[in-house]
């Protein structure tokens, strides 16, 4: 009788425990708030709900994630970290060093992540050899987007050199078209700057400057030429660029107010969300020069209390790297899957170009982490560079002075 009673109680306890585990909870902090981005994150929310989870959304708009990081720090300092946070690059390691990240190796190993993720991408997702983050995608940063009709009506082809870009921009300006849609925010300035730098410095020079922080490269004549081109670019933006969000700049290209935008392929997500067709309504090409600058969105899991939250983390990690989500999400977001085994049959011509270029760049050593989007450097160093870039772009500072300030800012950032 006692054994039966004990068995009954044990069964109830097991059912209760499984009921808790079967209701995964996740509070998710991210900065995907524009049209294409919001549509993309909704895919993950739905898949999480379909698997029995309860999702609490915590979107923080603005600053390319800067505002979200401010909100995150406040939450962590108060001892109330979100379940999952959109983090990337060295920022993952920085939070790991503060002892606040959870280990999701059990999910990664069960799902065979090491077999389906490029080694360079997987490297960003590990902390001291353990998996601590889940990659969502691979964004290419060094893109030029263009309004197809505007280019055709002005007899302009997509530029393949910076000289061609400058000539096209001057022709467009003379025709009353804004050559370059740009938002005057520090991270957008940095995005244009690193695309210019890759084209002028080359892949090896870019790596020396913005990964190794090599002083000789930072102070070289080639770096002066990079700032010279940035000064030229400043003349191609409209007077109202200050403070403009990136997706509003994309809309300027979309509606024909501007011809070009230099922005990562999340801009393509905006075009697609508006029903625009690549190759017909808009054109895509890598910015002049060889190489591929990548920006990988990922989610890091923070240490939380409660089996429901831990179950939420495990479910999120599994879904994020799962082939279904990788395909559907990236079709919406404009990026390409982080997994190498996902079929690209449903992807557009720009995504196919991105995937082919990533493969080629990976093989020839020109697949490079974006400094502007937090993949190459820690915050202090990248911030120091961007401060100089933005100060130069918004003043009459000479290129020589900018280079001198660049080297000094990097030296002072340690």
Mode of pairing for the β-strands spanning 133-135 and 298-301 = antiparallel
The predicted pLDDT at position 10 comes to: 45
Q: Please check whether residue 343 is in contact with residue 59, taking contact to mean a CB–CB distance below 8 angstroms.
A: no
Q: Measured between alpha carbons, how far is 181 from 233 in angstroms, rounded to an integer?
A: 11
The predicted pLDDT at position 265 comes to: 94
The predicted pLDDT at position 21 comes to: 47
Provide the b/e sequence for 13-25 (b: ≥16 CB within 10 Å). eeeeeeeeeeebb
Question: Is 70 exceeded by the pLDDT of residue 413?
Answer: yes
Distances in Å between the Cα of 28 and the Cα atoms of 32, 60, 316 are 11, 10, 10
The predicted pLDDT at position 63 comes to: 60
pLDDT band at 22 (very low <50, low <70, confident <90, very high): low
The percentage of the chain sitting over the pLDDT mark of 90, rounded to a whole number, equals 83
Question: Is 50 exceeded by the pLDDT of residue 11?
Answer: no
Q: Specify the higher pLDDT residue, 174 or 69.
A: 174
Helix 399-412 × helix 379-393 angle, to 10°: 160
Phi, psi angles (nearest 5°) of residue 104: -115, 25
The predicted pLDDT at position 7 comes to: 45
Q: Please check whether residue 334 is in contact with residue 268, taking contact to mean a CB–CB distance below 8 angstroms.
A: yes
Mode of pairing for the β-strands spanning 178-180 and 258-262 = parallel
Q: What is the pLDDT of residues 227-275, one digit of tens each?
A: 999 999 999 999 999 999 999 999 999 999 999 999 999 999 899 989 9
Q: What is the pLDDT of residues 79-101, one digit of tens each?
A: 999 999 999 999 999 999 999 99
Question: Is 50 exceeded by the pLDDT of residue 17?
Answer: no
Question: Is 50 exceeded by the pLDDT of residue 18?
Answer: no
The predicted pLDDT at position 15 comes to: 43
Q: Measured between alpha carbons, how far is 45 from 119 in angstroms, rounded to an integer?
A: 28
Question: Is 80 exceeded by the pLDDT of residue 343?
Answer: yes
The predicted pLDDT at position 269 comes to: 87
Question: Is 90 exceeded by the pLDDT of residue 121?
Answer: no
Question: Is 50 exceeded by the pLDDT of residue 16?
Answer: no
Q: Please check whether residue 29 is in contact with residue 67, taking contact to mean a CB–CB distance below 8 angstroms.
A: no
The predicted pLDDT at position 177 comes to: 98
The predicted pLDDT at position 273 comes to: 86
Average pLDDT, the chain: 92
Other Cβ atoms closer than 10 A to 216: 10
pLDDT band at 59 (very low <50, low <70, confident <90, very high): very high
The percentage of the chain sitting over the pLDDT mark of 70, rounded to a whole number, equals 94
The predicted pLDDT at position 35 comes to: 79
Quote the strand ranges of 151-309, DSSP E.
Answer: 178-180, 258-262, 282-286, 292-295, 298-301
Cβ-proximal residues to 105 (8 Å cutoff; 6+ apart), any chain:
130, 131
Q: Please check whether residue 354 is in contact with residue 137, taking contact to mean a CB–CB distance below 8 angstroms.
A: no
Report which DSSP code applies to 81. -
Report CA Rg, the chain: 23
Cβ-proximal residues to 235 (8 Å cutoff; 6+ apart), any chain:
none
Q: Please check whether residue 131 is in contact with residue 105, taking contact to mean a CB–CB distance below 8 angstroms.
A: yes
Q: Measured between alpha carbons, how far is 288 from 166 in angstroms, rounded to an integer?
A: 11
The predicted pLDDT at position 332 comes to: 82
Mean pLDDT of 385-393: 98
Q: Please check whether residue 151 is in contact with residue 290, taking contact to mean a CB–CB distance below 8 angstroms.
A: no
Q: Specify the higher pLDDT residue, 142 or 41.
A: 142
Mean pLDDT of 158-177: 98
Phi, psi angles (nearest 5°) of residue 20: -65, -45
Least confident segment among 10-14, 207-211, 337-341 = 10-14
Question: Is 60 exceeded by the pLDDT of residue 13?
Answer: no
Q: Please check whether residue 266 is in contact with residue 36, taking contact to mean a CB–CB distance below 8 angstroms.
A: yes
How would DSSP label each residue in 191-217?
HHHHHHHHHHHHHHHHHHHHTS--HHH
As to burial, measured by CB atoms within 10 angstroms (0-12 exposed, 13-18 middle, 19+ buried), residue 162 is buried
Q: 95 by DSSP, 3-state: which?
A: helix
The domains of the chain, with CATH numbers, are: 25-139+296-350 (3.40.190.10), 140-294+361-412 (3.40.190.10)
Quote the strand ranges of 136-194, DSSP E.
Answer: 137-140, 143-147, 178-180
Q: Measured between alpha carbons, how far is 170 from 181 in angstroms, rounded to an integer?
A: 14
């Amino acid at each position: 009788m006692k054994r039966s009673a004990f068995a009954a109680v044990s069964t109830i306890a097991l059912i209760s425990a499984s009921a808790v585990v079967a209701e995964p909870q996740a509070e998710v902090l991210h900065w995907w708030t524009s049209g294409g981005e919001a549509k993309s994150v909704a895919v993950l929310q739905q898949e999480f709900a379909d698997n029995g989870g309860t999702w609490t959304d915590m979107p923080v708009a603005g600053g390319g994630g800067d505002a979200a990081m401010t909100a995150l720090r406040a939450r962590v300092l108060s001892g109330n970290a979100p379940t999952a946070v959109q983090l990337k690059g060295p920022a993952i390691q920085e939070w790991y060093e503060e002892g606040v990240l959870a280990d999701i190796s059990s999910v990664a190993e069960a799902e065979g992540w090491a077999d389906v993720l490029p080694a360079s991408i997987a490297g960003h997702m590990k902390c001291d050899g353990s998996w601590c983050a889940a990659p969502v995608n691979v964004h290419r940063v060094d893109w030029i987007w263009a309004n197809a009709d505007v280019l055709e009506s002005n007899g302009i082809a997509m530029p393949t050199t910076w000289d061609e870009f400058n000539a096209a921009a001057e022709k467009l300006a003379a025709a009353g078209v804004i050559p370059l849609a740009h938002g005057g925010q520090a991270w957008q300035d940095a995005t244009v700057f690193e695309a210019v730098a890759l084209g002028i410095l080359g892949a090896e020079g870019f790596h020396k400057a913005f990964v190794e922080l090599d002083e000789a490269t930072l102070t070289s004549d080639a770096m002066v030429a990079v700032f010279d081109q940035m000064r030229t670019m400043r003349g191609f933006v409209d007077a109202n660029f200050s403070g403009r969000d990136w997706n509003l700049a994309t809309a300027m290209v979309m509606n024909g107010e501007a011809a070009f935008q230099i922005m990562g392929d999340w801009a393509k997500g905006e075009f697609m969300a508006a029903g625009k067709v690549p190759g017909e309504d808009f054109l895509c090409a890598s910015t002049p020069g060889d190489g591929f600058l990548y920006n990988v969105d990922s989610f890091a899991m923070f240490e939380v209390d409660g089996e429901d939250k831990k179950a939420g983390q495990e479910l999120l990690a599994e879904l994020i790297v799962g082939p279904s989500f990788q395909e559907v999400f990236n079709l919406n977001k404009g990026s390409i899957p982080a997994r190498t085994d996902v079929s690209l049959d449903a992807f557009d011509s720009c995504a196919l170009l991105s995937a082919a270029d990533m493969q080629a760049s990976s093989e020839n050593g020109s697949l490079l982490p974006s400094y502007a989007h937090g993949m190459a450097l820690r915050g202090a160093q990248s911030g120091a560079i961007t401060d100089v870039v933005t100060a130069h772009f918004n003043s009459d500072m000479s290129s020589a002075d900018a280079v001198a300030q660049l080297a000094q800012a990097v030296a002072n950032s340690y």
